[in-house]
Structure 1
Amino acid sequence: MRDGQTVTVLDVNITEFWKFLERSAEETADPTQRLDWLTIRLSRVSVEHIADFQVHLEAARRPIDTYAMWGAANQIMDGFCSGDGFWYFQPWLIGQGQRWWHHAAQNPDNLADLPAVRALAGRGPREWADADWPHWEELAYVAPRAYDRITGREDSIDEALDARGHRTYSNPEPTDQRWDSDSLAQIEQRLPRLARLFPRQQYVKP
């Protein structure tokens, strides 16, 4: 991580949200260091803009909170993507940046194009380093921690979001059609490229 550099965030609109998130990736590839960088920088802006960041982050979940995407994540994780696992996968995908987030949202099989996904191919999940896992649960806590730091009160961002009429949810809530992501036939039909990149090591139904 480069020291001595700052970024000025005057407003956290949706464009600045993505720029800010992507700037953290330019600073460092280490997930923990990215979190530190984001928390420190967010702590320098107004509480209103910190809340903006959280709203944009949660809004970015909606297009990828689908059974279609869950099945794709499940394929990458060799059939071991639980509800919690998918919930943590979503901020990881958002953290890849707007281009890749949008590309995957268009078609979950497009995850096969993401450099971070391709880097996992050819190895089973048990061989992945902790930093390689497609999970980034902690991104969801960056804005709340920065908000608490400024206000000196724990969970203080919740009141601000409630005042905006913003609904926060904490588990996947897909609304598209559920499908059997353990069916080989459906996997090959829906996720042909991911199926080639990540052939399932455990039993799947024919």
Structure 2
Amino acid sequence: MDIDTWWGLVGRAREAAGDRADDRDLPEDPLPGALTDVLAALDPAEIVGFAVTADEVTASAYRWPLWNAAYLIEGGCGDDGFMDFRDGLALLGREVFTRAVADPDSLAGLPVVVRMSRGESGWIGYESLDGPVKAAYARAGGTADGFQAAVEAADRGRIRAGEPGGENWDAEDAEATRLHLPRLAALFLD
């Protein structure tokens, strides 16, 4: 699936979720269900294409500066947490995602991040895009056990990054964080 089609499908799900599309911490988060509905209208092969492109999208955010921003925002962030963060970041839409990958400090402008800095409810992450995608695959007539095999077959040969890209610094070093992420540091450290 090409990237424009992929982001278009995420955009359609966001439109269906309405004004509650930007925060994964709601008790009844409407976006995963909206994404499942949008994807279920596709054929199973297209849904597999969506899953493969989702892996490519989130892999593009596998960068130290973004990981350090997630660490600051979430008060810590390990491997699994950063996968969740990247999945949730993709659900925020193309513009927010692209801007955050290029400049993680831009996350300081998101209302959910501002709320989190004040200790209020909120979360960017999403446990796994696989859940809504698998549910859509099943609704579109694909078999539950065939989904993973189909994704692996479609994804065969792709080279995965071993280490995150970009400049790294000690995420617990407040001065380094202030230097690299001044807006986020102002919210979470000052």
TM-score of the superposition, structure 2-length normalised? Answer: 0.82
* 1:182 counterpart residue number: 172
After TM superposition, give the deviation of residue 42 of structure 1 in Å: 1.4
**Cα distance, 1:155–1:199 mapped onto 2, change above 3 Å:** farther
User: Is the 2:52–2:155 contact (alpha carbons within 8 Å) kept by the matching residues of 1?
Assistant: no
Aligned counterparts of 1:16 and 1:165: Cα–Cα separation in 2: 18
1:136-155 equivalent positions in 2, closer than 5 A: 136-151=126-141, 153-155=143-145
Matched position secondary structure for 2:124:
coil
Residues 144 and 156, structure 1, Cα contact 8 Å, conserved in 2: no
Aligned positions, number:
182
How far apart in 1 are the matches of 2:128 and 2:77? 18
**Structure 2 Cα separation of the partners of residues 65 and 198 of structure 1:** 22
Unaligned runs of 5+ in 1: 1-11, 201-206
Larger deviation: 60-69 or 92-101? 60-69
Deviation at 1:99, TM superposition (A): 0.5
Segment of structure 1 superposing worse, 49-58 or 31-40:
31-40
Q: CA deviation at 1:157?
A: 1.9
Q: Does 1:18 align with 2:18?
A: no
Aligned residue in 2 for 1:62: 59
Change (3 A) 1:152 1:162: closer
Is 2:45 aligned against 1:45? no
| Structure 2 unaligned spans of 5+ | none
**Conservation of the 8 A alpha-carbon contact between 1:148 and 1:156:** no
In structure 1, how many angstroms separate the alpha carbons of the residues matched to 2:145 and 2:157?
Answer: 15
- Change beyond 3 A, Cα 1:174–1:166: same
User: What letter is aligned with 1:75?
Assistant: L
Instruction: Provide the identity percentage.
Output: 29
Cα RMSD (Å) of the superposition?
A: 2.6
Q: How does 1:1-206 map to 2 (within 5 A)?
A: 13-28=2-17, 29=20, 31=24, 32-78=29-75, 80-121=76-117, 123-124=118-119, 127-128=120-121, 132-151=122-141, 153-166=143-156, 173-199=163-189
Q: Which is higher, the Rg of structure 1 or of structure 2?
A: 1
C-alpha separation between the residues in 2 aligned to 1:17 and 1:157? Answer: 18
Following TM superposition, where does structure 1 have runs of at least 4 consecutive aligned residues deviating by more than 4 angstroms? none
Q: Distance in 1 between matches of 2:173 and 2:81?
A: 20
C-alpha contact 1:47 1:150 (8 A) present in aligned 2 = yes
